[in-house]
Structure 1
Amino acid sequence: MADKNPQLNGAYYGPSIPPPPKSYHRPGRGGSGCGCCLFDCCCGCIFSLICKLVCTIIVIVGIAVLVFWLIVRPSKVKFHVTDASLTEFNYTNDGMLHYNLALNMTIRNPNRRLGIYYDNVEARALYQDARFASNEISPFYMGHKTTHYLSTEFKGQNLISLGADQTSEYNKQKSSGVYDIDVKLYLKIRFKLGVFKTGKFKPKIHCDLKVPLTANGNPSSGTFESTECELDY
């Protein structure tokens, strides 16, 4: 029969049965999991709110642009060089270009509700990517569905650098009597809609011209043809 061990509060255990091990309880870190969940929840709510706000702004801006387009129906302004007179275009061996070029241009504003302020207009003349002259044109305003006429003249001499291939191309054009001349307009404009005026824009106008040389009032090879220019915003 098993002996009674007074140290075990009257419990009986046989010689082959060991006493039960003592168990220990380690207190946990209460509240740490809940704090992380709360932080993640707040971050998710803020991110969702920002996404909704951005989407709302995009929708509002899109609707405003659509309404503006439906009301105004903006149309592209048209630029034409209607006439060009070239009475001198002589490139000498020392790199000096002597020139006398006069241009007449038209600008057509087809819009019914938009007026255009031309605050600054600079005209530049280039030959084979080399600028040889520039002029400032007086500011002007164009009302709805109007056409503006402007003229400019490039006259004088300037030193430009042409390579061997460019000089060869110049000699070919000199023989044909027709020169490839680029004219570019650099603009600063504002639009007017009713009493409202928009901010400043800086479009560029590129006119790729083929201009016959005129001698004694008569073109050496054909006549100049009206040319539409390209508008680049």
Structure 2
Amino acid sequence: MPTMPAGGGSGDDNDKLWVAYVSVQFVVGGAFLLYALFYTQPSLIRATLDSATLSRLTVVSNATTASAATVSYNLAVSLKLYNPGDEANIYYDAMDALLRFRGAVIGPAANDTSPSVFLQRSKAGRDVNLEFDYGRRGSGGGVSVDGDVAAELEKEMRSVGTVTMDLELDVLVRVRFVEGGWKLREKPRIWCSMSIPVKADGRGALASGDRCRVKN
């Protein structure tokens, strides 16, 4: 009985080469992703609070609701954002900021952020200015807070003479690595604590230079 010639060797070799190629690409891509996540991320953004200027801070109790009050103020904050990476450029696509006092939100959103969209190259810094304007120009009035929050705020203003506020900034960024063109989308959060001396007329200013906390 005649034997059949072996004709599948070439195809099997090609399949093995293709599997080996895909495996190598997978390993290289995975290694690069791990490098990006564990080496680059911890130093993705550095944030510093440059200054904060507060004006017309007032607390008005609500006559009809004993447990509520209205806080009015204007706060201008200047931050410096720095990209310490050697191999990545950062594209800032959006910034959402809010202001807290003792955990309570007294600034649901910044009325103005400049700039809010920009490109930051490696080893470069950029100044970002935010403004919380609640009640100074009569545009929408102040912010409603619970009575105990208002009482603590008034206490700090009158007896301590310093008001401590916490700025939270959520940032949407895209990270493009110089080598290879890889991109990652990240949502770091920035926390800045501000202890602002307040005068009797509700004005105060802070020149800080303190580092803010950043969580990637």
Give the Å deviation of 1:210: 0.9
Structure with higher strand content: 2
Conserved in 2, the CA contact under 8 Å of 1:72 and 1:112?
no
Give the Å deviation of 1:167: 3.2
Q: Relative to structure 1, is the Cα distance of residues 223 and 131 closer, same or farther in structure 2, using a 3 angstrom cutoff?
A: closer
The two structures have a TM-score, normalised by structure 1, of 0.63
Query: Which residue matches 2:20?
Result: none
Conserved in 1, the CA contact under 8 Å of 2:88 and 2:175?
yes
Structure 1: gaps spanning 5 or more residues: 1-55
The two structures have a TM-score, normalised by structure 2, of 0.68
Aligned residues: 174
SS at match of 2:61: coil
The separation in 2 between residues aligned to 1:88 and 1:167, in whole angstroms, is 15
Query: In the alignment, is residue 120 of structure 1 matched against residue 104 of structure 2?
Result: no
Residue correspondence of structure 1 range 80-229 to structure 2 within 5 A = 80-94=48-62, 95-128=69-102, 129-132=104-107, 133-135=109-111, 137=113, 138-157=116-135, 158-164=142-148, 166-175=149-158, 176-194=160-178, 196-213=181-198, 219=204, 223-229=206-212
Q: Which amino acid is 1:213 matched to?
A: V
Query: In the alignment, is residue 79 of structure 1 matched against residue 55 of structure 2?
Result: no
The separation in 2 between residues aligned to 1:223 and 1:179, in whole angstroms, is 11
Q: Which amino acid is 2:75 matched to?
A: L
The separation in 2 between residues aligned to 1:216 and 1:163, in whole angstroms, is 21
Conserved in 2, the CA contact under 8 Å of 1:184 and 1:204?
yes
The separation in 1 between residues aligned to 2:189 and 2:57, in whole angstroms, is 25
Query: RMSD in angstroms over aligned alpha carbons?
Result: 3.2
Q: Relative to structure 1, is the Cα distance of residues 150 and 73 closer, same or farther in structure 2, using a 3 angstrom cutoff?
A: closer
Q: Relative to structure 1, is the Cα distance of residues 214 and 85 closer, same or farther in structure 2, using a 3 angstrom cutoff?
A: farther
| Deviation digits for residues 50-105 of structure 1 (CA, Å, limit 9, x no counterpart) | xxxxxx89x93764456668997973421011111112211111222110111111
Quick one: higher RCO (CA 8 Å, sep 6+), 1 or 2?
2
Q: Relative to structure 1, is the Cα distance of residues 169 and 204 closer, same or farther in structure 2, using a 3 angstrom cutoff?
A: same
SS at match of 1:231: strand
The separation in 1 between residues aligned to 2:111 and 2:164, in whole angstroms, is 19
Task: State the percentage of identical aligned residues.
Answer: 22
